[in-house]
Amino acid sequence: MGSPVRMAALPCLSLILLFWSQGPGVRGQEFQFGPCQVEGVVLQELWEAFQAMKDIVQAQDSITGVQLLRKEVLQNASEAESCYLIHALLEFYLNTVFKNYRDKAVEFRILKSFSTLANNFIVIVSKLQPSEKEMFSISESAHRRFLLFQRAFKQLDREAAVTKAFGEVDILLTWMENFYQMGHGAREFPTPGNNRRSITGSGHGAGD
């Protein structure tokens, strides 16, 4: 007699799990980079992945006085610029920084967190889909910001640059946080100038 009851309970349970997994905790968390929206990425997961590696990674960076993601790159970027900028930066991180850091991640035994971060960056890039027109109209000023970053990167020795750029992921996440919205009631827009770390130049290796 117990078994039919259990059988009936199963679909109910899976229904509950279904609603639970799509509950308000996840739904409504999204990035809004100007015209580009990215749903389904949990910022907290990116932070946790980076926090798990941060000390190891940043300890390898011996060049102080240089910051790649400096304030001229990120600070005061308009919402319209933000979509192009995040797209350009994340692509660069994936194709250049992460690609060249993977062996180190294995060596330092941080591959799991490294992969979590990389996978989330891939998801964000793949979901950023601005219309061509919007991309074009803002690309020049946003591109100039990106070039500042890229030029600073190229001025360093390759390995040092990769290490430094990876250690600056917290600066990147802090900036991205400005475009992250928890739920629909609280739309937070970027507030230039009051980023908590390093965009104002107070973090590690800050030099301006």
Full 3-state SS string of 55-115: HHHHHCCCCCCCCCCCHHHHCCCCHHHHHHHHHHHHHHHHHHHHHHHHHHHHHCCCHHHHH
Q: Among all residues, whose Cβ is closest to ligand NAG?
A: 76
Distance CA 207, CA 123 (A): 32
DSSP string, 5-56: HHHHHHHHHHHHHHHHHTSTTTTTEEEEETTEEEES--HHHHHHHHHHHHHH
CA distance 58 to 163: 8
Please identify, among the stretches 29-37, 70-78, 123-131, 176-184, the one whose residues bind ligand NAG according to the rule CB under 6 A. 70-78
* Closest distance to ligand NAG from the beta carbon of 74 (Å): 8
Q: Are strands 36-39 and 180-182 parallel, antiparallel or unpaired?
A: unpaired
Minimum CB distance to ligand NAG smaller for 72 or for 177:
72
Question: Per CB under 6 A, does 207 bind ligand NAG?
Answer: no
Q: Which stretch binds ligand NAG (CB under 6 A): 20-28, 41-49, 67-75, 153-161?
A: 67-75
Task: Label residue 5 exposed, middle or buried (CB < 10 Å: 0-12, 13-18, 19+).
Answer: exposed
- Which contiguous run of DSSP H or E holds residue 182? strand 180-182
Looking at the Cβ atoms of 145 and 164, the one nearer to ligand NAG is 145
159 vs 208 by CB, closer to ligand NAG: 208
Q: Is 28 in the site for ligand NAG (CB under 6 A)?
A: no
- Closest approach, Cβ 127 to ligand NAG, in A, equals 28
Binding of residue 75 to ligand NAG (CB under 6 A):
yes
One residue of 54, 71, 87, 145 binding ligand NAG per CB under 6 A: 71
Q: Of 51 and 78, which has the nearer Cβ to ligand NAG?
A: 78
The CB-of-193 to ligand NAG minimum distance in angstroms stands at 5
Look-up of token digits 């990215």? 38
Can residue 72 be called a binding residue for ligand NAG (CB under 6 A)? yes
140 contact partners, CB below 8 Å, separation of at least 6: none
Q: Of these, 193, 196, 207, 208, which contacts ligand NAG (CB under 6 A)?
A: 193
Binder to ligand NAG among 22, 76, 126, 129 (CB under 6 A)? Answer: 76
Q: Which residues bind ligand NAG (CB under 6 A)?
A: 71-72, 75-76, 192-193
